[in-house]
A and B are shown apart, each in its own frame.
Chain A
Amino acid sequence: MVENLDLKHRQVLKRKCDLISKLGEILASSGAETRLILSSMDLLAKALNLSVQSAVNRAGVFVSFDTPEGQVLSFRRIKTFGINMTIVTYCHQLCLKAERGEFKSLDEISEALNHLPHKHYPKIFLVPIEAIAAGCFAYLNQANLEVIASAILGALILMSIRFYLSQKGFFETFIFMVSAFVGSFCALLFAKAQGVGLEGQTLAILATSLVLVPGFPLINGFLDLFKGYIDTGITRLMQALVLVSSAAIGILGALLIANYYGV
């Protein structure tokens, strides 16, 4: 009887530990900054009456705590560093609810973590919105109407290709390179077709490719660095740099082809 109780107790502890590491993994995969991941894990642990030691790096999330029988350890690999702010918001609010004691059992928390709101805006809706945003970028750089139109058309193609390649599961760097190449080449063609001068063509390419700015890895990288999480900060900044470099390679490739064929 005592052995059974011990076994049950150990299973509950192990399950709590798994739930905390799962929360960390979800937050890390959704683009949360390191401090938010660690503090959310601490918050959930506190709500579950545990005192855990947790860590996050590019490889995965570690959670451990000591029991009289030994150490319970849970590790979860972070497969991708994606960005989904709906999930980050949901998980943050879930932790706050847990802290307020709004969950009655582990099953409820587990259920909440298993049914995340994987909400994405429809691609058919996002493509024109991002294209208009590229037009706004062109206006912010003092472009005229022809250049704004070229930027919008270029960005329409760029975003369509980006989503298509993303759906096919290609590497993000490859997606950035190809979509920047095709998008800026098309923007250049549209600008030339409308008789826009060299400065206008430059503006059209620039505005088209600005929709590829990796804002979240860049800012999260700096947030991590300034809060003392140097390793994850550098990882995120390097990720941003690689994405910017990929887009730059695409743009330079488009310019090279345009010059070579005298477009």
Chain B
Amino acid sequence: MAERERLGLRLRIFLFFALIVCLSAVAIGAGTWAAAVRLGPEALPHLVLTGGSAWFVIALAALLIWQKFDENVARPIVALSHELERESTATAARAGVNTAPARYLGALGPAIERATGALSEERAATAARIAAATREAETAKARLESVLSELKQAVIICNREHLILLYNTEAVRLLGVPETVGLGRPLSTLMRDEPIRHALERVEARYRAGRHLAHPDGLSIAVLTTTATGERTLAGRLGLIVDGTGGEVSGFAISLGDVTQQIEAASARDRLIWDMIDTLTPPLAALAAMGEILVAPGAPEGEARAAFDAAVAAESHRAAEAIATMAERHAGLRSGVWPMEDTYSPTLFACVVGRLPMSLQGRVRVEGEGLWLHAETYSIVELLAHVLKRLMPGTGAVALAAERRGGNVAVDLLWGGEPVSLATLEAWLAEPLDHALGHLTGRDVLARHRTGFLPNRAPDGRVRLRLPLRAPIHDHEGAPAMPLPRRPEFYDFDLMNRALPADLAGQDLRHLSYVVFDTETTGLNPSQGDRIVQIAGVRIVNGRLLRGEVFDELVNPGRPIPAASTRIHHITDAMVANRPPVEPVLRRFHAFARGAVLIAHNAAFDMRFLGLRQAEAGVRFDHPVLDTVLLSALISDPTAEHTLDALAERFGVTLLPEERHTALGDSIATAMVFLRMLDLLAARGIRTLAEAQEASDTMVALRRRQSY
């Protein structure tokens, strides 16, 4: 449209000049004719010559003027409009508009220059603002990720439908099974949902009534629940997520810790106290009464007195025994109230040294290997620093060391010279430590840790003040047990607005949750005893392939793996020798695939193997199933190949060579192929699960007919 108008401008000007030439021709013609009528035919040749010359001059002038006009006005305007057009559609700041052609257009050129200059400046500023905002968002996201992954509290964020939008590594550790922690999964698969719903109901009621504004807890509330299996007790807080101020409730965040130990310890303590009352009261009640009777007037005498004496002795003995039993039980209790944790001795010693005045710091040395131990570190650091502060004015350099001692780990203070007397040590321990510990003395800290200082001498002759502490609870040697990537796709806020699919069939293929899986087997004939040796799968949630949420387990097939099969999947008998049989793995895979649509390349094969032992495993793989072979047949040339390699190539899916032909690698490749198929399927009107399954069924029928 604009192109035609621009061409039209020069044409219209040309036509205007042409019209002038034509009109002058008409005027001259008319004049010549009028003169010829009056002057007679003999004057005609002169008149024609004069008129023709005049017209020629006019035409020539018009041509010249048009040429100049075209060159200096029309063409520059066209050129400028081109430039402006380009400028307006440019995506980034450009060098500016070339206004050279506009030199005869007066102030137009400079005005355009100013306008485009302002435009490009504005554009650059906008681009900078966007870049800054994007950087900020990225930083905030990275910060959130790192905070969440380092946090020692399990954090889970859910939408209103209790589907998980975010979780951190600690949540996976705390809630156990990685195959059930995952984006888009219902919270109830992880923990007992009722207490959460109850807490949510209360805090929502508080929010709706506006009471949260004055409430000390605002929009948060305490929750106490257990893991789905009930094995662990979880305590923490739930916070309501509200869109803006006074907006709709869009979900909730829960932070949880494992309080199983604390609660067990507290109830064990309670039980101990009650048992103590129950076992001590009868002998003490009898003793008290007998004591009174024996000193009162009319006390029993002779034989009766002897019976009383025997009873007093028996009950005293019983009470003493009861106390001894209780003391033993008390010693066996785990200290659950104090937040004890595993700590590394070099870290602990560095903290101790840091608490000392500068004058003493240079005289403290850390010796020996670093060991893990279990303690409430803050109070132990305060205690050791306190003892050093009292001790060091009277000694030379002091060494700090940790040593394994039986089942414990001892922390030693070592110095050359005189030992410290027990009375002095006791006096130091009676002094209060830091304010933060609430006037706690060193003796209190020792009591909490059920330990005490042992003064003796080290084998090298130095004086040693030894503090036995507990060995660590967790195994810190070797590799960390958690096979999870450090920052996998742990969150998906697009799920915020999605409900639990009530009716999968009508759901858009793009919004379903999938588990794309692959099995490796001992052979191709399940009916002839071939068995699964590996199951792997990967999740797709909201159109995203979650490489962080994978299932990959080897299975002991209970029979030798033929060499021919090992050549394909590289799984040997030795690799599966210590692996579980298929049943527990099927159960775990079933949990991993809960609520999802199953996808496999040539799904019938894999489903056959899954179905074979599902009864023994006590599960049923009755998920909806899609097959990438059938889907590929729906959207491609009937002669095309449908092997996974061919599909991967056709859809531009590349995998590392070491990933290919592993169950997990093939699952990922299948998942990527599937995601890229979705557009092509949609183009053929296949948008919902029901449509995909119907089309697949047609394809199965067609293929069956062709094969007969």
**Do A and B come from the same complex?**
no
